[in-house]
């Protein structure tokens, strides 16, 4: 990234490659709108070299996307909430989204309770979709704080799907946007699994900027996102991404994420195990 430019990183949904390309095009359009509106030092392209979580607290941050769980547990009062995307994938309802619990296509499992003693794959311990929603779903069935035989961290939702398909794990919770993108553009990746159940829903992955951003800058970002969402010229791009638009939620709306954590703890299941 050139010296003096701000940082843009949209690294949460980049699989399969067609989604990565569409995300680059999304930023190219959005960045051009921001520059045309008079914002200075707008990067022409996304920074794809920085780790997704390293971007969140970078002092240069103009726009990034985070997960609802770290937004509530790590980033409160350290970033500003800009907007929440509205996706039209199965499992999404306006600003809300959940996860699908998947098992192998030939697994003899008919209900969540049948998973007792299973091995779960999670993308990350700090993931709302891969860990927090799974914990909340399993909590009513746990005994003495345990339900699973083991938990394996895969590193990504796609890797979790592959582990389940290969029989290296029995279950995983896959974010509905990721599952929708893969089912649509890389169906071979989900061919070996089936959906067993849906989790509770929480607000989708928020778009954020640095805490020092002014109200005027946040207003500019929201205005550019709104313009992009209603411009007929971006209809094809939005269709690829499954985007209906964006909405401005309040940070307190994401307390729903921690409410699920509290619910699991109240049932004696504070940790996925």
Q: Looking at the domain assignment, is residue 58 inside a domain?
A: yes
Residues 145 and 171 in one domain: yes
Q: Looking at the domain assignment, is residue 103 inside a domain?
A: yes
What local confidence, expressed as pLDDT, does residue 2 receive? 47
Strand partners, 9: 64
Q: What is the mean pLDDT of each run of 10 residues along the chain (273 residues)?
A: 78 96 98 96 96 96 98 96 97 97 97 98 97 98 98 98 98 98 98 98 98 97 97 98 97 97 98 98
What local confidence, expressed as pLDDT, does residue 1 receive? 44
Residues 155 and 217 in one domain: no
Residues 185 and 235 in one domain: no
How many domains, in total, are found in the chain?
2
CB within 8 Å of 223: residues ≥ 6 apart:
37
Burial of 79 (0-12, 13-18, 19+ CB in 10 A): buried
Task: Write down which residue in 177, 200, 223 finishes a domain.
Answer: 200
The pTM of the full predicted model, rounded to 2 decimals, is 0.95
What local confidence, expressed as pLDDT, does residue 174 receive? 98
Q: CA-to-CA distance for 80 and 218, rounded, in angstroms?
A: 8
Task: Write down which residue in 132, 167, 200 finishes a domain.
Answer: 200
Its domain, for residue 190, covers 97-200
What local confidence, expressed as pLDDT, does residue 69 receive? 97
Query: With left for phi above 0 and alpha for psi between -120 and 50, is residue 145 left, alpha or beta?
Result: left
Tokens at 47, concatenated: 């920074």
Handedness of CA 92, 135, 254, 24 (dihedral sign): negative
What local confidence, expressed as pLDDT, does residue 4 receive? 65
């Amino acid at each position: 990234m050139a010296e003096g430019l701000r940082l843009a990183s949209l690294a949460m949904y980049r699989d399969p490659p067609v989604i990565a390309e569409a995300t680059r095009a999304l930023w190219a359009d959005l960045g051009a709108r921001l520059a045309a509106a008079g914002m200075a030092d707008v990067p022409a392209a996304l920074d794809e070299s920085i780790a997704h979580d390293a971007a969140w607290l970078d002092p240069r941050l103009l726009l990034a996307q985070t997960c609802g769980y770290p937004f509530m547990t790590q980033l409160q009062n350290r970033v500003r909430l800009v907007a929440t995307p509205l996706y039209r994938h199965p499992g999404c309802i306006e600003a809300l989204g959940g996860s699908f619990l998947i098992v192998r296509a030939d697994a003899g499992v008919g209900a969540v309770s049948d998973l007792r003693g299973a091995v779960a794959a999670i993308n990350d311990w700090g993931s709302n979709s891969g860990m927090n929603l799974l914990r909340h779903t399993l909590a009513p069935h746990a005994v003495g704080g345990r339900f699973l035989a083991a938990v394996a961290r895969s590193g990504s939702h796609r890797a979790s799907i592959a582990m389940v398909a290969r029989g290296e794990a029995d279950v995983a919770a896959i974010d509905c946007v990721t599952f929708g993108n893969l089912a649509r553009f890389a169906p071979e990746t989900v061919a070996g699994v089936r959906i067993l159940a849906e989790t509770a829903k929480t607000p989708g992955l928020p778009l954020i900027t640095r805490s020092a951003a002014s109200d005027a800058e946040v207003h500019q970002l929201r205005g550019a996102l709104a313009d992009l969402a209603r411009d007929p010229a971006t209809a094809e791009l939005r269709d690829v991404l499954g985007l209906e638009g964006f909405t401005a939620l309040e940070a307190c709306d994401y307390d729903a994420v921690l409410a699920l954590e509290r619910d699991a703890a109240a049932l004696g299941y504070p940790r996925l195990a």
